[in-house]
Amino acid sequence: MAHERLSIGAEVAASLAAGGPVVALESTIITHGMPFPQNLQMARGVEQVVRDAGAVPATIAVIDGRLSVGLDSAELERLATAGARAAKASARDLAPLLARGATAGTTVAATIRIAALAGIAVFATGGIGGVHRGAERTFDVSADLLELAATPVAVVCAGAKSILDLPKTLEVLETQGVPVLGYRTDEFPAFFARSSGLRLDHRLDGPAEAARAIALHRALGRGGTLIANPIPEADALDGAAIEARIAAAVAEAEAQGVAQKALTPFLLARIVDLTEGRSLRANIALVRNNAAVAAAIALELSRLTPR
């Protein structure tokens, strides 16, 4: 059974038992999203952001065939140094990876699944996966969207990764019944850029309001909530400039036949090169910002939840 493979760190377990605020954090950003040592510095820095905001961080990964929730310092370093040599685990990959005792970074979909098993209600990430450009030919749609629809975890993100088809991503989220709530914004953020030009139906203007919406959606009995939080203005990249570089990276991927699990890491790495590192700095800034917002929401949500 899945719960027999669940390992929850002592600090996270104590906070959950007390009804305290906990924020789940994914690990493919460590293994496949950034190079070493920036990935380790980022992971430790994001955990500290959560702590500074009054919540407990719970970085999630598969470690030696265990669903590990709340990695210790040595486990974080092990993942960071392994990088892409570690497996990349979406929700569908968890059982076979557990069966063979593997170690893997967990995607948004897998992290949502494991967070729910552990009883964690709020998860911070950079950007969710979504509908890839050209999906009308490839049918490449991220499992993140379906997991969000099925699992009652609130995900704080800077929108979907801007390498994706954002209008189609929003359409799938609407079809799946996932509330997409702008956090102090009326537009869906475009990851590296604050604006996509895509207006949202609902806006939240603070963590207490977000916590109430999350709690009410959970009470309705189905699926998760997406909190769309724009990258801070000081760290945002110019939308037109980043779009040109994304288009170039997508063309390279198509020419080289890069697809499926390899596509997103390839595109993000090429965009780092094409922006001379500016996209990496923006990525780190938006993850830290999302972690701070998620911690504030988790704190408010813990006050609403009976102990």
Extract the runs of DSSP E, i.e. beta strands, from 43-179: 56-63, 66-69, 87-89, 104-106, 122-124, 154-157
Amino acid at 294: A
Cβ pair 113, 151 in contact under 8 A: yes
| CA atoms within 13 A of residue 223's CA, in its CB half-sphere | 17
Q: Is 174 a catalytic residue?
A: no
Catalytic residue among 11, 26, 168, 254: 26
Q: Is 26 a catalytic residue?
A: yes
Catalytic residue among 47, 75, 88, 161: 161
What does the block give as tokens for 122?
Answer: 């709020």
SS3 70: coil
Where residue 72 falls (left for φ over 0; alpha for ψ -120 to 50; beta otherwise) is beta
Separation CA 267–CA 246 (nearest Å): 8
Whether the link from the prior residue into 37 is cis, omega within 30° of 0, is yes
Q: What residues are labeled active site?
A: 26, 161
